[in-house]
């Protein structure tokens, strides 16, 4: 078996193993240099610290929106509720304007805020760290909200 095929099989098996850990589903949003809204579905999200209040999420370096997030001074993590599968799917697709015909609010800083989310976490960009084929974005929490809705989860390669 050649090296490329071995790596593919190894990564395929690793993805299966990693899919056994259930995660919440978020849409991380920001604004690009023109002030246009940008967003992407993300499940690599975690709390980091309570003092100072920090969170992290990861973004692939080849994603079309990577440069918008990298150059931004902040972002919003919109934690999706169980009834927002359509929002998850919209922001996971590679299209140019994911906000076309999509109602949203804006934070004081002008970042998109997705309505009816389970929770929202508004952040100033703290730092960006290398993480292989992804970068790790760390944000300092400046505002947050939550509701009593049920979470949308990703487990075993499926939304549940």
Picking from 90, 94, 58, 61, the residue whose alpha carbon sits closest to that of residue 77 is 58
38 C-beta neighbours (distance < 10 Å), count:
22
Query: What digits encode the pLDDT tens for the residues 78-130?
Result: 999 999 999 999 999 887 789 999 999 999 999 999 999 999 999 999 999 99
For all residues of the chain together, what is the average pLDDT?
91
Residue 34: pLDDT over 70: yes
- The predicted structure's pLDDT at residue 16: 83
Q: Are 78 and 24 in contact (CB under 8 A)?
A: no
pTM of the entire predicted model = 0.89
- Give the 3-state secondary structure of residue 5: helix
How much is the pLDDT for 113? 97
Mean of pLDDT values over 128-154: 96
Angle, alpha carbons 91-70-121 (nearest 5°): 60
pLDDT(2) > 80:
no
- pLDDT (0 to 100) of residue 1: 47
Q: Is the pLDDT of residue 146 over 60?
A: yes
Alpha carbon distances (Å) from 64 to 5, 48, 60, 131: 27, 26, 9, 18
């Amino acid at each position: 078996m050649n090296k490329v095929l071995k790596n593919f099989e190894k990564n395929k098996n690793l993805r299966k193993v990693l899919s056994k850990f259930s995660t919440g589903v978020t849409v991380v949003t920001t604004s690009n240099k023109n002030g246009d809204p940008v967003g992407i579905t993300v499940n690599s999200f975690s709390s980091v610290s309570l003092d100072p209040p920090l969170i992290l999420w990861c973004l692939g370096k080849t994603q079309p929106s990577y440069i918008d997030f990298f150059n931004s001074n902040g972002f919003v993590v919109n934690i999706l509720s169980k009834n927002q599968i359509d929002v998850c799917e919209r922001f996971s697709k590679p299209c140019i304007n994911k906000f076309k015909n999509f109602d949203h609010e804006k934070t004081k800083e002008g970042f998109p805020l997705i309505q009816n989310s389970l929770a929202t976490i508004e952040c100033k960009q703290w730092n960006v760290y290398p993480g292989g084929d992804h970068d790790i974005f760390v944000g300092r929490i400046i505002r947050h909200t939550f509701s009593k809705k049920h979470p949308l989860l990703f487990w075993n390669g499926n939304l549940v």
